A and B are shown apart, each in its own frame.
Chain A
Amino acid sequence: MKKSLYILLASITILIGACDLEKEVDLNLPEFEPKLVVECYLEPGKPYRVILSESVGYFGTLDLDLPVVNNATVMITHNGIKDTLINSVFVEPSPGGNPLLAKVFNYGSSTLVPEDYNSDFHLEIVDSAGRTITATTQLLPVVPLDSVQYLYLQDSSASLLTIHTDNPNETNWYYRTQHKTVVTLDSLKGGFVLDDELITGSNNSMAVGGPPVYDAGDTAIVTLYHITESYAEFLETTAAAQQNNGNPFATPSSIKSNIVGGLGIFTGLTYFRETYYLD
C-alpha cells in the first residue's frame, strides 16, 4: 500500500512538471515577401485619402511605427477625371479627440468625393519598385434604419434591435456597428457584417440584435453601412484570419477584396448614423 501511494505521488509530481504544454518554437519560414497594402474609403463630401503600407514578416525588424510606403504614384479616376494624390502626411483627428484613434494617411488630394452613385471610381498605384495595384468601386445609396427597439434583459439593462428595409431586387451587404456610452465614436464598438440572404422578416425587413448591453443613462451610436460585396468579403476574411491564428478548428484563410496586386480595400463608405439616449 505504502509503495503504491509513493508511486501515485511520484506520478503526480512528474505530471505537473510535464504539464507546461505550450512552448516557444522557431518557425523556419521561407523569406517573407512584403505585399502592398492599401486602404481608401470614399466618403461623399470628404477629400480623397489613401494609406499605402506593406505587410511585414513576423520576425523581421520594424523600424517605423507603421510600415508605410512613400514615393508611389497614387491616382483615383472618376468620370474620366484623373486625380494624382500628393505624398504627404494627412491626419484626420478622431471625432472625440482621442489621439490614439486619429486616422493617418500618406496620400491625399483636395478633391472632394462626389455624391455619385452611378459611375465607378478607379484606383491605380505604382510604387517606386514598380509594383502595381488596381481596384474599382462605387458608392452605394444610404439605407436608413426604420426603427430601433430595446430588448430588455434582467436587471433593467437592454440591448438594441435595429430594423431596416432591404431592397429585394438586388443582393446587398451591410455592416452595422454600435458605440456605447461615450457620445463620440471613440469607444470600442461591436460590428456585424450582414448578407441579405439572412432575411427572415416580412416586408423585406432585416432585424439585427446582439451586444453590447446598455444601462439606463447610456448613449448608443448606431451606424448602418451599406457596403459592397468586396468590402463585406474583406471584413469577413480579415476577421477570419485573426480568429484562425491559434484555432485548431480553423480552415485556411486568404484575404479577399477588390484590390488587384496587393492587400487592402478600396471602397465607398456610405452610412446611416443615429444617436440614441437610453432612459
Chain B
Amino acid sequence: MIDVRLKDGNRKKFSGTGGLGLVASRLTLEGPIVEDKGSFIVSGRRTYVDVITRQVNRANEGNENYNPIPDYYFYDLNMKANYDLGENDRIFLSGYLGRDFFTFGNGDFNVNFDWGNTTTTARWNHVFNPQLFMNTTVTYSDYDYTLSNKFGDFAFELGSGIEDQAAKVDFSYTPNNDHFIQFGVSSTYHKFDIGRANADSESGVIEFSSGQKHYAWEFGAYVADEWEVNEKLKLDFGLRASGFYNDEKFYYGLEPRFASKYSVSENVSVKASYARMYQYIHLVSNSGASLPTDIWYPSDQVVAPQFSDQVAAGVSIALGENYLLSNEVYYKWLGNQVDFKDNANLFLNDKLNEEFVFGKGWAYGNEIYIEKKNGKFTGWVGYTLSWSWRQFEDILDGEAFPYRNDRRHDASVVTMYEINSRFTVTASWVYSTGNASTVPEGYFIVQKPQGEGITIVPTYVPRNSYRVPAYHRMDIGFVWNFKHKWGKSDLTFSAYNAYNRKNPYFIYVDDNRQDIIDANDGQPLGADDFSELEFTPTQVSLFPIIPSVTWNFSF
C-alpha cells in the first residue's frame, strides 16, 4: 500500500543531508561500499511534537477544564544498498521501517494507538544482452495496527494486520527502436489478521478474544508493448491475467489495457485510454473519519473481487516555453463494491463478511492542470470536478448515494517564488468539498419497561446525505540559504495550516443531559427534564496551525 522509492546512494564519495526542526528532524547518509561497484543510502526521520505537547499538558495539570493534548510521534527509517556482481549482474537490497504512535491518557482512562509498516526487498538485475533485461524481486512486507484501551484494571486491545511475501520476475525486451516489450509473472502469499480483539481484567473475571485469519495466494502474469508507430503516434497495449485463492475459492480475471497518444503538432498532443482492473483485497472503511483502522478484507466464499473499467481522454498543450496546460476527462464503472450494512458490528466479530453488502458504483470527472515550469515564479494549479456514486440493494432501498469520498470540487495551488539566490518563498493551498457523511438530525424518546430510565435515541439523515463543510488549508514557507566551507544549509520557516482553519474531522451532536443529571443529584432523566434539554452540533478538528523552523544541511 505504501510505495517507497529511494534513490541509489552516491558511488563516488561519502555525503549527507539532514534537517533539524522544531517538529521533526531527519538525516540521510550515503556513500560507496566499494568505489564504483556499490553504494548505500540510509535515511531516517523522527517527529517530536510530543515533547512540546507533554510540557503543555504538565503545565495544565490540575486544571479541571483542560483536555490534555494527545501525544503523537512517528519515526521512519529507509535503507538501500546496491552492488555490481559483474558486468551483467547487479543486486539491490532495501528496507523500510516506519511507525506512528498516538497516546492519550486522562485519569483512569488510557488509549495507545500505534500503526506501522515494515518492508524488505531484494532485487537481482540481470542483463542478457543490450535488448533483454531481467529483474527478479523478492519482497516481504508487514502492516499492522494496535489500539489498546485501559480503563482502571480493564484492558482492551484491537488490532489488524497484513503480512505479504511476494516474488516476481519481470523482463524488458527492446527488439528495435519502435517497440518496448515488458512481460513477467508474480506471486504473493498474503496473511491477513483481521479484527483481532482481546479483553481482560486483572482479576480475570472478564476474558475473551476474537479475530479471524486468512491465508491467501495472489498470482499475476502480464505482457505489454509500448509501440511507437511513427513520430506522431504512440500505442500502449497490455494484458494481465490475475488470480486469487482463499477460503477454498479461486477467482481470476483478465485485465486488458490500452493507451494511445497522438501528437497533433509540436505543442499539442491528445491521448485516450481504457483499462480493466481486478481488485482481490477490499478496503472497507467505516463511514466516519478516515483512520488507520480501516479494514482490508480478502475475497473469500462470500466476497467476490471488485473490478473496474475506466475510459479516459485528454489533451496537453504547451503554451510557449513556460506553460503547460492539460485536461483529462474520465468515466469509471465499478463492480462488486463492498460496504457495511446498516448497524454493522465491526468489532469482536468473527463473521465479518456477514456484515457486508454488495453493489456497484460509478465515477466521472474532469481534471485540468496548468503548470508554469520556468522563471523565478513557478508552480501549478490543478482542479478536478468529479462525482462518485454507490448503489446497494440493501442500503437506502437501492437508491444511489454519494460515496464517502465523493468530492465535487478539488483544487490545489502550489507556488514558489525565488526572490534571489538566498531567499525563496513557497505557498500552497488545497480545497476540497467536504465528505459525504451521516449525521444525527433528531431524536426520539424511549421510556423502556419498568425499572429502567428513559433514553434519548438519535436518528440520522440517510446515508452520506449530509455534506460536511469544505476542507481547505494553506501552507507557507520561507527558505533562507547559506553557503559554508563544508557544504550548504538553509533555514526553513514554515506554517502548516497557516490561517488555522478548523477543518472538520467528524461532527456529533452534544447535549446537556449529564448536566441535568448532575443538577438532580445523579437521578436519572425524568419526563419533567425534557424541556431543559439542549443540543449542540459540535465539530471536531485534528490539526491546528503548526508553525515550525527547520535547519537543513548537506555536505
Residues of chain A having any CB pair with chain B under 8 Å: 4, 7-8, 10-12, 14-16, 18-19, 21-27, 29-30, 32, 34-35, 37, 39, 41, 43, 51, 53-60, 62, 64-67, 92, 94-95, 98-104, 151, 153-154, 159, 177, 179, 185-186, 188-189, 191, 209-210, 221, 223, 236-238, 240-242, 244-256, 263-264, 269
Of the listed stretches B302-310, B359-367, B518-526, chain A binds B518-526
Q: Which residues of B contact A22 (CB under 8 A)?
A: 538-541
Partner of A19 from B55, B69, B203, B535 at Cβ < 8 Å: B69
- The chain A residue sitting closest to B355, CB to CB, is A251
The 5 closest A-B pairs by CB, nearest first: A185-B451, A18-B544, A246-B508, A100-B526, A248-B289
Complex contact B453–A188 (CB within 8 A): yes
Q: How large, as a class, is the contact surface on chain B?
A: 35 or more
Q: Which residues from chain B contact A236 at a C-beta distance below 8 Å? A: 343
Contact with A along B183-198 (1 / 0, CB 8 A): 0000000000000000
Give the distance in Å from the alpha carbon of A4 to the alpha carbon of B547 in the complex.
Answer: 13
Q: Contact at A250–B286, with CB atoms within 8 Å?
A: yes
Of A14, A64, A254, which is within 8 A of B460 by CB? A254
Q: List 13 A-B contacts (CB under 8 A).
A: A8-B22, A18-B545, A30-B461, A67-B444, A100-B525, A101-B451, A177-B451, A188-B524, A209-B206, A241-B458, A245-B458, A245-B509, A251-B340
> B542 — which chain A residues lie within 8 A by C-beta?
21
Encode contact with A along B493-518: 1 for CB under 8 Å, 0 otherwise: 00000001010111111100000000
Given A57-B441, A189-B451, A253-B343, A14:B541 Cβ within 8 A: no
Shortest Cβ gap from B484 to chain A (Å) = 18
Task: Mark interface residues in B447-463 (1 if CB within 8 Å of A CB, else 0).
Answer: 11111110111111101
Q: Given the complex, which residues of A lie within 8 Å of B523, measured CB to CB?
A: 98, 100
CB contact between A251 and one of B287, B293, B502 (< 8 Å): that residue: B287
Assuming the contacts A18-B500, A62-B531, A249-B293, asked whether A27 and B439 have C-beta atoms less than 8 A apart, the reply is: yes
Give chain A residues whose Cβ lies under 8 Å from the Cβ of B450. 92, 94-95, 101, 103, 185
Instruction: List, in ascending order, chain B residues with CB within 8 A of A27's CB.
Output: 439, 441, 466, 507, 509, 537
CA of A264 to CA of B446, assembled, Å? 8
Task: Choose among B444, B456, B500 the residue that contacts A54 (Cβ–Cβ < 8 A).
Answer: B444
> Can you name the residue of chain A whose Cβ is closest to the Cβ of B524?
A100
Q: How far is the CA of A38 from the CA of B401 in the complex (A)?
A: 30
Tell whether B52 is near chain A: CB-to-CB under 8 Å.
yes
Check if B398 is an interface residue, CB within 8 A of chain A. Answer: no
Chain B CB count within 10 A is highest, among A64, A238, A254, A263, for: A254
Smallest Cβ distance from B490 to chain A, in angstroms?
15
Question: CA A242 – CA B453 in complex, angstroms?
Answer: 14
Determine if B526 and A99 form an interchain contact, defined as CB atoms under 8 angstroms apart: yes
B342 within 8 A of A: yes
User: What residue of chain B has the Cβ atom nearest to residue A56's Cβ?
Assistant: B442
Contact with A along B531-555 (1 / 0, CB 8 A): 1010111111110111111000000
Contact of B447 among A59, A104, A250, A254 (CB under 8 A): A104
Query: Which residues of chain A are near B109, meaning CB under 8 Å?
Result: none
State how many angstroms separate the Cβ of B224 from the closest Cβ of chain A. Answer: 40
Asked if residues B466 and A248 are in contact (CB atoms below 8 Å), the reply is no
Q: Give the residue among B451, B461, B469, B527 with the most A Cβ atoms within 10 A.
A: B451
CA distance A246 to B289 in the complex (A): 11
Please report the C-alpha to C-alpha distance between residue A89 and residue B81 in the assembled complex, in whole angstroms: 82
Residues of A contacting B10 with CB < 8 Å? Answer: none
Chain A residues lying within 8 Å of B69, measured Cβ to Cβ, are 19
Q: For residue A18, which residues in chain B have a CB less than 8 angstroms away from its CB?
A: 500, 544-545
Residues of A within 8 A of B449 (CB): 41, 43, 103, 269
B314 at the interface (CB under 8 A from A): no
Question: When A153-B205, A179-B451 are in contact, do A29 and B441 touch as well, CB less than 8 Å?
Answer: yes
Chain B, residues 427-444, CB within 8 Å of chain A (1/0): the string is 000000000001111111
Q: Do B545 and A14 touch across chains, with their CB atoms under 8 A apart?
A: yes
Residues in A with CB closer than 8 Å to B205 are 151, 153, 159, 209
Q: How far is the CA of A91 from the CA of B456 in the complex (A)?
A: 20
Give B residues with C-beta under 8 Å from A: 22, 52-53, 55-56, 69, 203, 205-206, 286-289, 291, 293, 340, 342-344, 346, 438-453, 455-461, 463, 466, 469, 500, 502, 504-510, 520, 523-528, 530-531, 533, 535-542, 544-549
CB closest residue in chain B, given A37: B444
Query: Are A254's CB and B343's CB within 8 A?
Result: yes
The complex places the Cα of A210 from the Cα of B205 at a distance, in Å, of 8
Q: Which residues of B contact A251 (CB under 8 A)?
A: 286-287, 340, 342-344, 346
Are B547 and A14 touching (Cβ within 8 A)? yes
**Which residues on B sit within 8 Å (CB–CB) of A263?**
444, 459
Partner of A15, one of B459, B539, B544: B544
Besides A246-B510, A251-B340, 18 other CB < 8 A contacts? Answer: A8-B22, A11-B52, A11-B548, A18-B545, A22-B539, A27-B509, A41-B449, A54-B444, A65-B528, A95-B450, A95-B451, A100-B528, A179-B451, A244-B458, A248-B288, A249-B346, A252-B343, A253-B460
Closest to B147 in A: A249
Please indicate the chain B residues that have their CB under 8 angstroms from the CB of A100 in the complex. Answer: 453, 520, 523-526, 528
Given known A24-B536, A29-B441, A56-B443, contact A256–B457 (CB-CB < 8 A): no
Chain B contacts for A269, CB-based, 8 A: 449
Who on chain A is nearest to B502 by CB?
A23
Chain B residues closer than 8 Å to A65, beta-carbon distance: 527-528, 530-531
Query: Which residues from chain B contact A186 at a C-beta distance below 8 Å?
Result: 451
**Chain A residue nearest to B500 in the complex (CB):** A18
Q: Are A35 and B451 in contact (CB under 8 A)?
A: no
Please determine whether B549 and A58 come into contact, CB atoms closer than 8 angstroms. Answer: no
Chain A positions within 8 Å of B439 at CB level: 27, 29
> Which A residue's beta carbon lies closest to that of B528?
A65
| Chain B residue with the shortest CB-CB distance to A250 | B288
Cβ of B104 to closest chain A Cβ, rounded Å: 13
User: Contacts A16-B56, A179-B451: A245 and B540 contacting too (C-beta < 8 A)?
Assistant: no
Which single residue of chain A is at the shortest CB-CB distance from B464? A252
- Least CB separation from A21: chain B residue: B541
A142 to chain B, nearest CB (A): 15
Indicate if the CB atoms of B56 and A189 lie closer than 8 Å: no
Contacting pair A252 B460 (CB below 8 A): yes
> Is B527 a contact partner of A25 (Cβ separation < 8 A)?
no
Q: Are A29 and B460 in contact, CB atoms less than 8 angstroms apart?
A: no
Q: How far is the CA of A250 from the CA of B286 in the complex (A)?
A: 6
When distances are taken between beta carbons in the complex, the residues of chain B under 8 Å from A43 are: 449
What residues of B have a CB within 8 angstroms of the CB of A58 in the complex? 440-443, 509, 535, 537
Q: Are B445 and A53 in contact (CB under 8 A)?
A: yes
* Cβ contact within 8 Å between A249 and B459: no
Cross-chain contact A55 with B288 (CB below 8 angstroms):
no
Instruction: Look across to chain A and name the residue whose beta carbon is closest to the beta carbon of B545.
Output: A18
Chain A residues contacting B545 (CB-CB under 8 Å) are 14-15, 18
Q: Which of A159, A246, A247 has the most CB of B within 10 A?
A: A246
